[in-house]
Amino acid sequence: MEENNYRLNQYIAKSGVTSRRKADLLIESGKIKINGVVIKKLGTKVFINDTVEYAGKEIKIEKYKYLILNKPKDYITTLKDERNRRTVMDLIVKSCSERLFPIGRLDKNTTGVLLFTNDGDLSQKLIHPKNRIKKVYHVGIDKKIREDDYNTIKKGFYLEDGEVIVDDIQIVNNSQNKELLITLHSGRNRIVRRIFEFFEYKVIKLDRIVFAGISKKKVVRGKWRFLNKKEIGFLKMK
């Protein structure tokens, strides 16, 4: 049975705007209206026939959707770009009527698994550092990796912004020691590229093959699919 009232932060999260925690900040800063009145009180109830507005536009509760894209190169991870560059949103624009947003980021030249949802709470959960969500990358570098560099990466070392600890690193078979699989939970900006640049390797290819246990297997580059119930349940258990 559908609920007939919600806490305001819950309503905002279910509309796909943001997570409940961030919704509280929107409320306290006076950016939310109910029936034309600015509401700043946390815990305010919203009834199903009320009109709720954010940034001058009415927002409504949406059914949660979860989608995986196998991101190609030359697309940036943003909702829209002021310079009219191609964005990942261009690739999923016809997926559904709900307003989806990417969970985390991949840079322009990185390919692979990128998840999308309108479930703000799950998105926040998957990108928060304390939850230590693992990502697996297939990395191609410009020359054979030296044994001492490989061992240093495996053991852990320091960059200018702190210690780098990888969960696992393996050399890909028959790759002449130029391709590796690296697993880590760090969400620091460009962390995989920075690891190899620190040891003076140029990253030729960077492909995220797994994020939070979700694989891009059977998803063609540039294409997407909705997650199945088992995958959604797996994400929510993390």
**Cβ–Cβ under 8 Å, residues 60 and 72:** no
Number of neighbours of residue 236 by Cβ within 10 angstroms? 13
Number of H helices and number of E strands within the chain? 7, 17
- Name which of 28, 26, 29 is nearest 13 in CA terms: 26
| Catalytic residue status for 107 | yes
Say if residues 78 and 87 touch (Cβ distance below 8 Å).
yes
- Tell which residue, 37, 44, 21, 39, has the closest CA to residue 29: 39
Which of 81, 107, 142, 168 is flagged as catalytic? 107
Q: How many CA atoms lie within 13 A of 92 on its CB side?
A: 30
Q: What are phi and psi of 82, to 5 degrees?
A: -65, -25
Q: Which of 209, 206, 189, 213 lies closest to 113, judged by CA?
A: 209
Tell me the catalytic residues.
Answer: 107
